[in-house]
């Protein structure tokens, strides 16, 4: 029997893990890296927007699961990986797609 992915499980049926799952897009040199990051929610009620989680992250490396690496000029998919570790010191810019405000596709042509 095939296991359901987390994207197939309705929010009401998901177990509360204490983590916020966000799709991250990071540009490093000529690469666009897209993947999922997990941020601890903690007890701060003010950390609700995607940008709040990125600003409060204080490590130099960020692990992204279900990662895809694109050529930022052509949009060609170069590599897919179960995870990558992004060196934040090398990132040109980074953002998180907030589910509440973004409705577009997560991969493909450069953004």
Is it the case that residue 59 has pLDDT exceeding 50? yes
pLDDT tens string 16-58: 557 778 899 999 999 999 999 887 766 555 546 777 777 777 7
How far apart CA 61 and CA 49 sit, in angstroms, is: 21
pLDDT at 68: 98
Domain segments of the chain as ranges? 17-97
For 8-28, give the secondary structure using H, E and C.
HCCHHHCCCCCEEEEEEEEEE
Give the SS3 label for residue 107.
coil
pLDDT at 58: 75
Which tokens go with 32?
């666009």
Is it the case that residue 64 has pLDDT exceeding 80? yes
> Cβ neighbours of residue 75 under 8 Å, at least 6 residues apart?
32, 108, 109, 110
Percent of the chain with pLDDT over 90: 43
Return the closest-CA partner of residue 69 out of 105, 22, 28, 102: 28
Please tell me which residue, 59 or 65, carries the higher pLDDT value.
65
* CATH architecture assignment, domain 17-97: Roll (2.30)
pLDDT at 109: 46
Is it the case that residue 3 has pLDDT exceeding 60? no
Please tell me which residue, 72 or 59, carries the higher pLDDT value.
72
The distance of Cα 109 from the centroid of its chain, to the nearest Å, equals 17
pLDDT tens string 87-98: 999 999 999 886
């Amino acid at each position: 029997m095939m296991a359901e992915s987390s994207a197939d499980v309705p929010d009401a049926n998901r177990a509360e893990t204490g983590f916020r799952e966000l799709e991250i897009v990071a540009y490093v040199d000529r690469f666009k890296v897209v993947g999922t990051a997990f941020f601890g929610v903690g007890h701060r009620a003010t950390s609700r927007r995607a940008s709040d989680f990125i600003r409060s992250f204080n490590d130099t490396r960020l692990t992204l699961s279900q990662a895809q690496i694109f050529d930022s000029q052509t949009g060609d998919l170069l590599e897919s990986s179960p995870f990558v570790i992004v060196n934040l010191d090398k990132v040109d810019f980074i953002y998180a797609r907030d589910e509440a405000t973004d409705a577009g596709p997560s991969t493909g042509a450069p953004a």
